[in-house]
Amino acid sequence: MTQLGRRHQLGDGVDGGLPDDDAAFELFNRAAEVGDAAAHAELGFIHGVGWGGREIDVPRALLHQYFAALGGDPRGQMALAHRHARGVGVPKSCRAAALYYNPAAEKVVESVDAAVPGISPSVEKHRLRRVVCTVVYEYARVSPAFLPASTQL
């Protein structure tokens, strides 16, 4: 249902070939009701930005993003990580941001590694650190001694 909803959002391969946000919204809701994490991610986005003329509803967006992240959807994980890193609708917490960013990053690394077995493109893992509660990225090869002693993730 989620894939069909995405097709309706884009008007790709559906009757009339025109986007239909209402049909997409209904399909995402039906898929979310049965626990589809990707559908929850879509609904989190829709409620978070007011897609398709809907009112922005941050609490509802957070609820759907939480269920998406809990279900392992990388977009839900990234959305919650961003919210925690910046304090958007949730308490600002670099620790919480790192907890949501890490599983999404691991999935990216796994998908790249799986794309060409034995021959992986150059991908570097990055370390999250806190500097005045702003999330910045440092190359993983940087020694932990580089980080200030007060840095806590």
The C-alpha atoms of residue 29 and residue 36 are separated, in whole angstroms, by 9
Helix runs in 11-123, H state only: 21-33, 37-49, 58-70, 74-86, 94-115
| pLDDT one-digit tens code per residue, 43-63 | 999 999 999 889 999 999 999
Supply the pLDDT for residue 106. 85
Residue 7 belongs to a domain: no
Give the CATH number, domain containing residue 64.
Answer: 1.25.40.10
pLDDT of 110: 80
Does the residue 58 lie in any domain?
yes
Quote the pTM value: 0.73
**Are 62 and 44 in contact, with CB atoms under 8 Å apart?**
yes
Q: Answer yes or no: is 47 within a domain.
A: yes
* pLDDT at residue number 121: 57
Residue 81 lies in a domain: yes
What confidence tens digit (pLDDT) does each residue in 20-36 have? 899 999 999 999 999 99
pLDDT at 37 over 90: yes
Q: Provide the Cα torsion 13, 14, 17, 22; round to 10°.
A: -130
Run of H or E residues at 129: strand 126-131
User: How many CB atoms neighbour CB 37 within 10 A?
Assistant: 22
Count of domains for the chain: 1
The CA distances from residue 14 to 8, 9, 18, 26, 80, in Å, are 6, 10, 8, 15, 31
**Is residue 45 domain-resident?**
yes
Residue 27 falls inside a structural domain:
no
**Would 55 be classed as within a structural domain?**
yes
Structure tokens at 139: 């190359």
Kindly report, residue by residue over 121-145, the tens digit of the pLDDT.
555 555 555 443 443 333 333 333 3
**76: containing domain:** 35-146
Q: What is the pLDDT of residues 71-116, one digit of tens each?
A: 999 999 999 999 999 999 999 998 999 899 988 888 877 877 776 6
